[in-house]
Amino acid sequence: MTESSRDILVRTLPMARRYARALTGSQEAGDGLVAEALRGDLPPLEPRLALYAAITERAPERPDAQGLSARQRQLLLLTALEDLTIDEAGQVVGLSGEEAGRELEEARAALRATAATDVLVIEDEPIIAMDVRRLVEACGHRVVGVAASEAEAVRLATEKKPGLILADINLGRGGDGSAAVARIQKSMRVPVIFVTAYPERLLTARGAEPTFIISKPFEPRALAIATYQATTTSSVPIV
């Protein structure tokens, strides 16, 4: 492997870890998948795509109540969460761009039929909170509360018992979104998606990290897919 290829892999690693944990539903399983991929031979693709492909190849099959295939889940995450083009995502999963496009259309149709859940939004910026609420509701979910501070988030979670939490990290004077989530998860098991402009800061491989992370600014489709993965794959607290 050339030094240039190695540098690309190092830069790709945090996002590849995000992809792997979104596939598996936990930090431990996702990081184990990445480690396994790096120990083996990478496929003959450009380094960034090769790492995604090696992870995809080793990803476990998961039952899906909504009828999505493993390949469709992978394509959705690669294009919406990781910002790969349809052609690039096709290379990762071993399909032509045309085949990948057809699979994605079927997967998106299935997503639109997904059952809704109650969502608590933790966001201190009023305009951003309004935009997030609009996007969440456009995905078919119900926003049961918007918290601008750590204390308010804990109170609303206790009262509303949400099925999903969408949390910003930095709440300004209102505290820390991750601290609010940690307090909430002491009393209830609920999947969480963290929204941040700097996802790499949460993917340092030091200690516990969020399982589901989307980058600001985000597209509605990325939010739809992240909420779907969080509510259908997560089985343990995400701190």
- The answer on pLDDT for 36 being more than 70 is yes
For the chain, domains (ranges, CATH) are 3-112 (1.20.140.160), 118-233 (3.40.50.2300)
One-letter identity of residue 18: R
Q: Give the pLDDT band (50/70/90) at residue 203.
A: low
Give the three-class secondary structure for 42: coil
pLDDT of 215 > 80? The answer is no
Give Cα separations from 167 to 26, 91, 161, 195 (angstroms): 17, 33, 15, 6
The pTM of this model reads 0.64
Residue 34: the pLDDT is: 94
φ, ψ of residue 214 in degrees (nearest 5): -125, 150
CA dihedral 151, 154, 157, 159 (to 10 degrees): -70
Q: b/e string for 67-92 if b means 16 or more Cβ within 10 A? A: ebebbbbbbbbbbbbbebebebbbbb
Contact between 213 and 199 (Cβ < 8 Å):
yes
